[in-house]
A and B are shown apart, each in its own frame.
Chain A
């Protein structure tokens, strides 16, 4: 008997019992509650983002004319971070990643982006084909990115896309092996753990993984791109923190929850 046959046989015997039935009603009730919470929080989030933008715009106007704003948002002011003033979403995203990938240091930068607009030159921190937005335009972001500088030439980028109605981003690997996000829509597949030899820098290696898809709320995605090198492929794999493709999926739920928290 071969090793796999033995293992199958023992597995079958170990699980030879009458199985309990899943509580389908409870699963559906729980799933419905989760969907309602998500819908409500997206709606609340939109209102909150609009309110924050209004406050931010009001503050800027006030600074120009030299008077105090008539309304303030102490919650927002109290939770501002050094990454993007006016929101604590950057902080929540960073906390979510820290919980799921504790091996990472604190992010070097967190910033909003718009994957529906192109504009970044090669080598820019954001994925190619996605435009990094000025911090004060975060209310119009279609995604966020967290950058982690591990060492010289060793960077991890985590990108999370917000739901956008009716548009699915196109993902791919560009010549440098970095994640690309096309704005045209029509994604047919999600690359997972593709690594490519960097054609311009032959001894540099990049590993990326994407998880996501269409949802009722629009296209959502999480991507992790890690760039290491120089060195051989084996050295690159040994150097990489996340050479396998499980990480974007593992981050997805936490980041989605962070996005949904008002």
Chain B
């Protein structure tokens, strides 16, 4: 058996601390818990393989970037494999509002789903979302604004139009 890298315990701590958050983000992007589990498992495997690099840079941003890229790839692969109008997995308790949200999210581009889930599910700042998605902060803001507007159109009853969505998290 090979030597255990000195950084492995650090990696394990990272996985333990982030797995729930990563699963939520992946679910919001992919609309399926099994797909989210696969994506997160792949993400943590890839992170182990590249952990020395991940820890030498912004580990949080690096980890989330791997997750977002993995989910984007998974989303494209699923789109190629299956053409369906099937709604996403049912959420718990038959919560109508939550079901509507997931149905509406499924109609948005996967990159919009990434930005929305990181901003509003994980409560990341604009800067952190920009780092995770590797896009400029201005793009995060404009993409968020467009995605929210589109989401508002898709949801019933529509979310009230408001310019307050940038109020929080301007850290």
Contacts and interface: CB of A to CB of B under 8 A. Distances in A.
A3 B19 contact: no
B45 A249 contact: no
Nearest to A192: B134
B92 interface: yes
Contacts of B40: 22
B48 A32 contact: yes
Interface in B16-73: 16, 19-20, 23-24, 27-28, 33, 37, 40-41, 44-53, 56-57, 62, 65, 69, 72
Specify the main secondary structure of chain B where it touches its partner: helix
B63 to A, nearest CB: 12
A245 B46 CA distance: 21
B102 to A, nearest CB: 5
Given A8-B121, A17-B92, A213-B56, A249 B101 contact: no
B52 A216 contact: yes
B118 to A, nearest CB: 11
A201 B102 CA distance: 48
With a 10 A CB-CB cut-off, give which of B12, B135, B160 has the most chain A CB atoms. B135
**Which are the 9 A-B pairs with shortest beta-carbon distances?**
A31-B48, A14-B98, A34-B49, A30-B45, A27-B44, A13-B98, A10-B101, A11-B121, A4-B165
B135 A245 contact: yes
Contacts of A244: 135-136, 139
Contacts of B109: none
Interface string A1-44: 01110111111111111011111101110111011101000000
Given A3-B152, A244-B136, 19 more contacts: A2-B160, A3-B161, A4-B119, A6-B160, A7-B159, A11-B117, A14-B91, A22-B41, A27-B15, A27-B45, A28-B8, A28-B12, A30-B49, A31-B51, A32-B2, A190-B57, A193-B135, A213-B62, A245-B136
